Amino acid sequence: MRILHLGDVVGRSGRQLLLEHIADLRRDHGCDVVVVNGENAAGGFGISPKICQEFYRVGIDVITTGNHVWDQRELIAYIDSDARLVRPANMAPATPGRGWTLVETPTGARVVVVQVLGRIHMKPCDDPFRVVDDVLRRFPLGPRLAVVVDVHAEITAEKQALGHYLDGRATLVAGTHTHCPTADARLLPGGTAYITDLGMCGAYDSVIGMDKAASVGRFTSELPGPRLEPANGPAELWGVVVEVDPATGLASAIDQLHVGT
């Protein structure tokens, strides 16, 4: 079994490139499950029900989100009805939506996708280590069962700590949120595939996908500036493809994937 996990989709340019390429990527890499972080897909802030349906139509199986999940207010009334849309599991218990989902492939193999928020430089949330433990107790890794953990966090050390904490108990631990692809895709000693940040699907001639001028202005002046908007230049896709050992659910290989300039 193979799993494709792509980083945060940012704005229209990221969406368009994703929609153009996802079917080919799925076919060319023999992927059974495709996971995409879509939390910046709608104008750089959140995701809408319409965009979710566009993603599903081209072959995306699961959409993860992050700290911007509620930026598009229409998602609040929608999220409970969409079993393939995942918000961070360590949000407050009364929060709508779900923190994990289960996908079954045509061959009968299953993939659990769970997301957690980091706690450093983020809004207050529950302990991601404990919350993932709760999910893994329900779905222990094993034959024909893979587990993908999307760690949406600011700090490299927090992501790496979760990777090592889950080594041998998850198939893939993939960092999202910072939008810059890291060069550390690897197999951890216990057989878990890991990368600190997948990168993004968006315009890289930008500041983490947003317009350069407006972003620079926020660092060089205390005056209120224009609202940040996604950059509109040529986009790139970044993510990983993970090969799963069907006998154990652990990863046997991880390869970084890049489409674009």
Sheet holding 110-117, edge to edge: 100-104, 110-117, 145-152, 172-176, 193-195, 186-187
* Number of structural domains the chain divides into: 1
Looking at residue 198, what is its pLDDT? 98
**Strand, helix or coil at 113?**
strand
One digit per residue, the tens of pLDDT, for the chain of length 261 reads 999 999 999 999 999 999 999 999 999 999 999 999 999 999 999 999 999 999 999 999 999 999 999 999 999 999 999 999 999 999 999 999 999 999 999 889 999 999 999 999 999 999 999 999 999 999 999 999 999 999 999 999 999 999 999 999 999 999 999 999 999 999 999 999 999 999 999 999 999 989 998 899 889 998 888 888 999 889 999 999 999 999 999 999 999 999 997
Encoded tokens for 206: 């930008």
Given 68, 152, 177, 179, which residue is catalytic?
Answer: 68
**Parallel/antiparallel/unpaired status of strands 172-176 and 193-195:** parallel
Is 121 annotated as catalytic?
A: no
Check which CATH number belongs to the domain holding 24 and give it. Answer: 3.60.21.10
Looking at residue 111, what is its pLDDT? 98
Looking at residue 97, what is its pLDDT? 97
What is the rounded CA–CA span in Å between residue 69 and residue 73? 9
Count CA atoms closer than 13 A to 91's CA, side-chain side.
Answer: 20
* DSSP for residue 142: B
Q: Are 116 and 133 in contact (CB under 8 A)?
A: no
Looking at residue 226, what is its pLDDT? 84
Looking at residue 227, what is its pLDDT? 85
Please say whether the dihedral angle defined by the alpha carbons of residues 161, 93, 154 and 256, taken in this order, is positive or negative.
positive
Can you give the residue range of the structural domain that contains 68? 2-259
Comparing CA positions, the residue from 229, 222, 223, 174 lying closest to residue 207 is: 229
Rounded to two decimals, the pTM is 0.95
